[in-house]
Structure 1
Amino acid sequence: MYYKLLADLTVAVHFGYVAFVVLGVPLTILGAWRGWGWVRNRWFRGIHLTMILVVVLEAWAGVTCPLTTLEKDFRAAAGGQTYQGDFIANCLHDAMFFDLQPWAFTVGYTLFGALVVATLVLVPPRWRRQHG
């Protein structure tokens, strides 16, 4: 039971990672347009860039995401051979995983990484604290 719970928790963390990376781009663009100062925060932008770069480098190296591997290991330890999370875990899992060739993911991740880099140019982060 604990392994199944850990597997479902891993899916939730994985989904949170993906959501942060994906939603970071439109929120940065919308925030620049709306004047939201937090979208120019250097920590937010640096963490966002680092997270997508990790994904891109994993894809280029042909490395399976450690969160995917961890989830599969937990599912195997729970006695499951196929994905059998709870309803919410199933929904999160299905939203993240698609049946495509590995090269398609590498291209997609690389293009998305380039988009994140482009937002650094189009909506530059604040590198120094602004007083006042």
Structure 2
Amino acid sequence: MFYRILADATMIVHFMFLAYVVAGGFIAWRWPRTWFAHAAVAVYGTFNGIIQFVCPLTPLEHHWRLKAGQAGLEPAGFVETYLIGVVYPAEHWPTVQLTAAAVVLASWIGLAIRLRRKRLVNADTAP
């Protein structure tokens, strides 16, 4: 039971990481100092999508699942196990990647606009 909890916790952290890769720019609208963390994970996510190296969370979850007596992850990894063919058809994977990139770009453009407006308002109210 302990290993299953570890596997499930790792899966949840992985999903949260993917959500932050896509939506972290919008979080920076509220907390602008988090933009650097989001930029780092967005770059990581981009390179992972291009080069397709294995995220460290994938073998960790696979290990915990096997220790719990469950089937491990698909050989291709986390995304293939939980998303491709489950949430959306495999042929839509390129569209999903482009949509995620567009969401990140839109969030960064929005952040830049918000920060610029804030700077202008602060400049107008400064003595």
Q: Which range, TM-score by smaller chain?
A: 0.5 to 0.7
Q: CA deviation at 1:10?
A: 0.3
Q: How does 1:1-132 map to 2 (within 5 A)?
A: 1-26=1-26, 31=29, 38-39=30-31, 41=32, 43-81=33-71, 97-99=83-85, 100-101=89-90, 104=93, 108-109=96-97, 111-124=99-112
SS at match of 1:64: coil
Q: 1:46 to 1:109 in 2, by over 3 A?
A: farther
| Equivalenced residues, count | 109
Q: CA deviation at 1:82?
A: 5.3
Identity in percent: 25
Equivalent-residue separation in structure 2 for 1:27 and 1:9 (angstroms): 23
Equivalent-residue separation in structure 2 for 1:79 and 1:27 (angstroms): 38
Q: CA deviation at 1:60?
A: 1.0
Equivalent-residue separation in structure 2 for 1:102 and 1:5 (angstroms): 32
Structure of larger gyration radius: 2
TM-score by length of 1: 0.59
Q: Which has the higher contact order (CA 8 A, sep 6+)?
A: 1
Q: CA deviation at 1:110?
A: 5.2
SS at match of 1:123: helix
Equivalent-residue separation in structure 1 for 2:68 and 2:91 (angstroms): 27
Contact 2:25 2:111 in 1 (8 A): no
